[in-house]
Amino acid sequence: MSGQPTSRVLLSVTGINPRRWHQLLSARREVVLEPDGEADPSITYAVVWKQRPNVLSKLPNLKAIFSVGAGVDHVFHDPGLPDVPIVRVVADNLTQYMTEYVVWRVMDHHRQGALYRSQQARKVWHEPPQRPAGDISVGIMGLGTLGRASATALLSLGFRVNGWSRTDRPMDGVSTYHGEAGLVPFLNSTDILVVLLPLTAATEGMIDYDLLGQLRRRNGLGGAVLINAGRGRLQRDADILRALDDGTLKEASLDVFETEPLPETSGLWSHPKVFITPHAAATSDPDHLVGPMLDQMDAFERGEPLRDLVDREAGY
């Protein structure tokens, strides 16, 4: 190891193209895609997306891990995850993308996009009744960085907004609920459910048939709607299909799935009440995210605290 630089960045990503990340990180730091040998003391930071298991356990001088995404479940899958701070993405650019996705999907369900697409396919000229946004309650599960920005945008469009979080998170104009005790009252007053939760031990699998059955169905939309842009393993795909088929759900917009890419055999692909995007609600754009990551590394070395840290115990 002698003669090696002493503060290299490991870029360990799978399932995304590392090229641009590598290029931008390399402008200010020496970047490697693989540690040298069994234990590599030259690496002090790691930038990761679904890193190779155990790759981080061999870095004795690792000071911090930077997630390429806002969610960090992909970091925790690693049995050899070292006990160093984990920084996640909190960025205006990503928040804007997610806000656009949520507004797009809520508006499409509210303005009956599926009905008009089906009418157009059959050359049907029919105007269904319209109702004001103020008659619809959108319930946001996960009132964090992305949930709050979406709530603000939906309020400005005139929707009623509910929010559910782990701890008490008051927000002007939003009816807020928290914890287990707040869940059923939150669902009972929600017409369109927007899921923006992190995937943790506490949230895995919670979007199931029983939960969907608690949503308000007798509403101006003619049924309850699910929008999930959080994580696929929050939901049970089979329960969503069952709920759509028996009327528990009117429609769903799904960006994330239990298995990604969504297998060709999934009934969700061709379901007439489902709108699918391929985990594309809010892309991590290296041109917006690498600069702030490098700035944080510099600041940390000047003795400043890291920002946007993950709470390991809570898992997000």
229, interface contact from ligand NDP, ligand OXD, none, CB < 5-8 Å by kind: ligand NDP
Q: Is there a contact between 72 and 86 (Cβ–Cβ < 8 Å)?
A: yes
69 near ligand OXD (CB under 6 A) = yes
Partner whose binding site includes residue 215, from ligand NDP, ligand OXD, none (CB under 5 to 8 Å by kind): none
Structure tokens at 169: 């998170």
Only one residue has tokens 């109702």, namely 131
Interface with ligand OXD (CB under 6 A), residue total: 6
Candidate residues 145, 162, 284, 296; the one interacting with ligand OXD per rule CB under 6 A: 284
User: CA-to-CA distance for 261 and 312, rounded, in angstroms?
Assistant: 27
Shortest distance, position 286 Cβ to ligand OXD, whole Å: 12
Distances (CA, A) of 99 to 73, 93, 108, 204, 280: 21, 10, 14, 23, 13
What is the contact mask toward ligand NDP in residues 266 to 305, using x (rule: CB under 6 A)? -------------x-xx-----------------------
CB of 272 or CB of 305, closer to ligand NDP: 305
Residue 96 token pair: 């804007």
Cβ neighbours of 263 (radius 10 Å): 12
Token duo for residue 81: 């995850």
> How many degrees, rounded to 5, is the angle at CA 152 between CA 135 and CA 111?
40
One-letter amino acid of 122: R
Strand partners, 192: 138, 225
* CB nearer to ligand OXD: pick between 118 and 259: 259
Tell me if 110 contacts ligand NDP by CB under 6 A.
no
CB-nearest residue to ligand OXD: 69
Q: Among 71, 142, 223, 286, which residue sits at the site for ligand OXD (rule: CB under 6 A)?
A: 71
231 is catalytic: yes
Enumerate binding residues for ligand OXD (CB under 6 A): 69-71, 89, 282, 284
